[in-house]
Structure 1
Amino acid sequence: MRSTALDVTTLENLVSAAVAAPSIHNTQPWRFRLDPDTTTLEIRAEATRGLRHTDPTGRGLYLSVGCALLNLRVAVAHYGWEPVSRLLPRPDEPDLLATVRLGGSAGASSTPHLYRTLWRRHSSRFPFSDRQLPPAVLTELTEAAHAEGALLSRPDPAESDRLLRLTREAERRNTVHPDRAAESRRWVHDPTGADLGIPTAALGPQDFLEHLPMRDFGAHQHPDVLTARPFEKRPSIAVLSTTHDRRADWLRAGQALERVLLVATSHGVRASLLHQALEWPDLREQLVGAHGSRGANAQMVLRLGYGPQGPPSPRRTADQVLADEPLSRRTR
């Protein structure tokens, strides 16, 4: 039986793995705390990094934390412990979104490739090729979502076009909404050592034919920032949804999203997240059409394919996101 004593290096690696997860606008809206008495890692919401205009309900923040939670579970299993996770464990502490206790020895991890993959997963906002995903890979992605209690639906071409029209309408609204546009621009930066937000190099071009509505993060006000290039003719679109739409479901959706992204990355499949229509309640209601289950709630629209990896966005260090004491004093 492995001891649950944590050394500093392992703690740093666990938290760094969690922080490698994607987050809305790369806000990284989380902080971590170790309870050394129970060897439990807490994940708390960092409210100061919420997007008041783009994500007023906090759903995107919860999805982001769910992604980090999945990475933390994968990392804990990689180091030989059983990750015992709880969602929203203390109702009187609403910022405490999840905990992961290092349980007894779990033996060899059943998904060692996911730990290796999480370090090289990046969103790609660049054009993909017209190569289609193999059916076996699509099945594995669907199973990855199902393992976390979510549904990954693959719409047919006509339905994909409808979803892209909704996304295009949402992008149009975002660009003319002064508060949302300004909020997006604040999270785009030049590579000057910032540890949050999105580097301009990671924005990618716009679709020359205007079929694929990639988010421009307010760069439309500076036309020289984003160039236009042809994108794939038939984008591979998927919709991640959950049966219910409560805070716990948002966290489950985030875990499902990250598991899908990690499995995709392990197969060399790139992904970008088309979140725009989810930011407008009337458009979000229309996202789950004939391809979805009755009563399903859309949580994310994904674009999948083969193409350039895209540059990484910066991440905060483990010491920056761990609460309270210096890293060297947090273990026993």
Structure 2
Amino acid sequence: MTSPDPTPAGAAIAYGEADLRRAAEAGIRAPSLVNSQPWRFGLRDGAIEVRVDAERLLAADRAGWAARIACGAATYNARLALAGAGVPAVTDIYPILTDRSLVARLRAGAPRPPTYAEVELYAAVPRRYSNRGPFWPAPVPADVRRRLIDAARSQAAWLDLLVGATAIAGFSEIAHSADRVLRRDARYQAEIATWSHADQAPDGVPVSAGAPLAEPHDLLPQRLFNDRRRGQWHDYEPEPLVGILGVSGDRPADQVAAGQAMQKVLLTATAAGLDTSMISQPIEVPAAREQLRRSLRRAGFPQIAIRFGFGTPGHPTPRRDVPDVLA
């Protein structure tokens, strides 16, 4: 799976160490399940490689789906950083077969100034983070919704925004059912708990960035990262805007591509002033995922659910230093 190659025939352009660092600085700002940051970046034969860091794989992610989604998001950030510097990349996505750790390879294309859209999205990279708290009930404008859908479509993915109380109630039932399955798995819960920190560790989720304790009337499930109760009048929005992002296939390469599409959607939302958080429980439980797919009446495969809205300023999660992610 390769993006169009803008390099003129016979041109010999290669990335260097400065490009690698620039790509990694943006790549580490991508989201990942419990902020596990399962990526590494390296330079080989003038191309930048994005790899799954085997030492940071979650036991809960047995099939590697979450790691590939995260590395796809990191790849998209790296692409933006390179385009912003005037050296856009030709991106090859690799199905993890012969080299199980290799996710994507970024080859240097023809130099050109960045587009306005690339500048806007690159500027959003350091401002994007998951806001797990309640959002205001104000609706997301129709033109912003269209931009989110177009962002997914531009990366060969689809984004279905759930409209109406019936659609939200159906998703809520599926999401809560999946969450109950995961909560009954003691090993899963123990691993999630190890990624919750009271201090500013370079990875994981600080307790300050976790959602407040769930209440029985909440429409959407939240992971337990702290024991903080919400204040009065701080309930979750009664009609959340939830989008389901998916792609046509479900091979490793498809999941990496979905990660790139997810990141473009998240950055588009950030640039438009929205807050976001991700709901992965219905994807992590196979039966729930199939139920979700059937409810959407889609031939493809849902890869992540995203909540959009306007929230109060939250708490970005920390990131490892760039030297720690260089191969």
How much does 1:48 deviate?
1.9
User: TM-score if structure 1 supplies the norm length?
Assistant: 0.89
Out of 278, 285, 291, the position equivalent to 1:280 is 285
Deviates more, 1:147-156 or 1:226-235: 226-235
Aligned to 2:98: 92
In the alignment, does 2:33 pair up with 1:24? yes
Aligned to 1:237: 242
Aligned to 2:197: 189
Aligned to 1:269: 274
- 3-state SS, counterpart of residue 302 of structure 1: strand
Identity rate, percent: 31
Deviates more, 1:5-14 or 1:245-254: 5-14
Deviates more, 1:68-77 or 1:149-158: 149-158
Give CA-to-partner distance per residue, 1:23-65, whole Å, 9 cap, x none: 1110100111112xx3211111112211222x21111111000
Q: Residues 156-171 of structure 1: matches in 2 within 5 Å? A: 156-157=163-164, 158-171=166-179
How much does 1:217 deviate?
3.3
Q: Partners in 1 of 2:136 and 2:216 — Cα distance?
A: 15
How much does 1:156 deviate?
2.5
Aligned to 1:250: 255
Q: Residues 56-71 of structure 1: matches in 2 within 5 Å? A: 56-71=62-77
Aligned to 1:150: 157
Query: Alignment length, in residue pairs?
Result: 313
Q: Partners in 1 of 2:178 and 2:216 — Cα distance?
A: 18
Change in CA separation of 1:188 and 1:25 when aligned onto 2, cut-off 3 Å = same
CA contact (8 A) 2:163 2:241 kept: no
- 3-state SS, counterpart of residue 215 of structure 1: coil
Contiguous gaps of at least 5 residues in structure 1: 220-224, 324-332
Q: Partners in 1 of 2:37 and 2:210 — Cα distance?
A: 17
CA contact (8 A) 2:134 2:235 kept: yes
How much does 1:214 deviate?
3.5
- 3-state SS, counterpart of residue 135 of structure 2: coil
CA contact (8 A) 1:125 1:214 kept: no
Q: Partners in 2 of 1:240 and 1:186 — Cα distance?
A: 28
Q: Partners in 2 of 1:244 and 1:10 — Cα distance?
A: 32
The Cα RMSD (Å) is 2.0
Change in CA separation of 1:209 and 1:230 when aligned onto 2, cut-off 3 Å = farther
CA contact (8 A) 1:206 1:214 kept: no
CA contact (8 A) 1:34 1:40 kept: yes
In the alignment, does 2:183 pair up with 1:175? yes
CA contact (8 A) 2:39 2:71 kept: yes
Aligned to 1:329: none
Q: Partners in 1 of 2:15 and 2:243 — Cα distance?
A: 39
Q: Residues 75-86 of structure 1: matches in 2 within 5 Å? A: 75-86=81-92
User: TM-score if structure 2 supplies the norm length?
Assistant: 0.90
